[in-house]
Amino acid sequence: NAGVTQTPKFQVLKTGQSMTLQCAQDMNHNSMYWYRQDPGMGLRLIYYSASEGTTDKGEVPNGYNVSRLNKREFSLRLESAAPSQTSVYFCASSEGEGGPTGELFFGEGSRLTVL
Amino acid sequence: GDSVTQMEGPVTLSEEAFLTINCTYTATGYPSLFWYVQYPGEGLQLLLKATKADDKGSNKGFEATYRKETTSFHLEKGSVQVSDSAVYFCALEAWQAGTALIFGKGTTLSVSS
């Protein structure tokens, strides 16, 4: 039972490089999310997708783009990485509207370092 | 906007000690409230939740009661174990972001034997 799978788990980039974080869930969930976790800041929502075909900005969307490729997959792209984007990124999913409130299922995280 | 404030850590306890981690919130309306736990090297997982005032969520010996009067949702456990060492996050449902959650900054708990 895989749940939420993120790749890659670790990545080092140079300033200005681009990359995409991949996320897939096998629970047939409607909603998916990208959070970043920074020391002393907790988790902050970057983007979310309430349902297939929709995406919306969260608290800290600048410098990121997302794609909800299908119901299973939700990718996060950094077009021109900056040192301020050094963080641990978590993808999560939930049943969404009509489902159990608040039950987000998280991946194991992707640790990104931008030099 | 909606927000969650939880006590600063780290919290260091001996095994079998009593645990309280304070959490207060600011929100429009009466959102559902949650505690999530993150063990080292892992993602977050739901520990317990409460969906309305005076509800008590409980799981694995942990409890938290939704207090509307004090806008609080403090996490308690009567006797902690070394295996409880983790980061604990208080969260509320963000009505303005689908069913996303707004998290507090997290409190690190370290339990020694």
Task: Name the band, by pLDDT with cuts 50, 70 and 90, for residue B28.
Answer: confident
Sheet of A74-78, strand order? A4-7, A19-25, A74-78, A64-68
Look at residue B100 in the predicted model and tell me its pLDDT: 81
Residue ranges of B 47-86 with Cβ closer than 8 A to chain A: 49, 51
Dihedral angle sign, alpha carbons of residues A57, A60, A61, A64: negative
Distance CA B89, CA B106 (A): 4
The least confident of A82-86, B4-8, B14-18, B79-83 is B4-8
In A, minimum Cα distance to B88 occurs at: A42
- pLDDT for B14: 97
In this predicted structure, the answer to whether residue B96 has a pLDDT above a threshold of 80 is: no
pLDDT digits (tens, 9 = 90+) for B33-84: 999 999 988 899 999 999 999 999 999 999 999 999 999 999 999 999 999 9
- Residue B44 in contact with partner chain A when CB distance is under 8 A: yes
Three-state secondary structure call for residue A58: coil
Helix (H, G, I), strand (E, B) or coil at A53: coil
